[in-house]
Each structure stands twice: as C-alpha cells, then as structure tokens.
Amino acid sequence: MAMDDIDKMLIRLLQEDATQSYAVLGKAVGLSAGAAHERVRKLRERGVIRRTTIEVDPAAVGREVVAYVLVDGGAWMGGSAGRLAAVAAVEEAHVIAGPASVLLKVRTASTKELQDVLRQVFEVDGVTGTQSIVVLETFFERPVHIA
C-alpha cells in the first residue's frame, strides 16, 4: 500500500520529534488525534515505522571513535551474521559488492577498543582479513528522509 502525503508528513514530523502527541500531529496534518493515531498505527503495522527511539550523542557517552571495516571472507552463511551482531560495537553490517564481502560500521571509545573489536571480527568463521577506515571527523549524518 502506497503512502499518501499525510502519511509522509506524519513520518517527517515524527522524525523531527517522536514525542509529539497525536493531537499535535493531527493538527499539523489536518486530522483528529484519533485519526492521526490510527495512521501511525497502520504505518507501524506495515513496517514503514520500524521503531521509535531516541538519538544519543556518541561523544557524550564516550563512543567517539568511528571506523568502517571491510571484511574479507568466503561464504557468509550460517552463524556469521549472528556472530557479527553479537559484537556490541558493530552498529551496522552490510553484504557488499566490491573489494570485500561485508562492510561494518563500528563505534568504540578508543583505538585500543577498536583493535579488540577487530580481533573479535577476525575470529568469526569465514573471515580471512579486514581493512579499517577510521573516521577523523563527521560532517553530518542523517536519517532516511521521506520526499
């Protein structure tokens, strides 16, 4: 089912501030609070809205080191994805086309901790090597925006 302009506006409003009441959301899009609630519920049911969360400043909680890790290896079947997901510092994992099999986004408190994470990744079955790119500065990060 396609999203209409009201659904898209509700998503944009929730991305700006997910704590807004349904009354405020409804008023912003020309619906009652109940109708806005129903729209959001349906967006959740359809999987358009996967979760509601807060955004934490990584520097404020001591997670300032960001690295992208290219993982070389053969078959990514079995428990490899689960083993990578079990490494708490791995924020994202993507099967990729290109110079490696998997791309990880890792966030740690220090380069020493990053080194420990790389050791854990290297212990995953099928991993034959890694290459790391450490981020020196982030210009911006943005969520998925609805046009």
Q: Which domains does the chain have, with CATH numbers?
A: 5-45 (1.10.10.10), 58-134 (3.30.70.920)
Q: Pairing relation of β-strands 65-73 and 90-95? A: unpaired
The residue among 110, 90, 113, 93 whose CA lies nearest residue 102 is: 93
Tens digit of each residue's pLDDT (9 = 90 or more) over 109-137? 999 999 999 999 999 988 989 999 999 99
In angstroms, the CA 110 to CA 64 distance is 7
pTM of the model: 0.81
**For the chain (length 147 residues), average pLDDT per consecutive 10?**
92 93 97 97 95 89 96 72 93 91 95 98 90 96 80
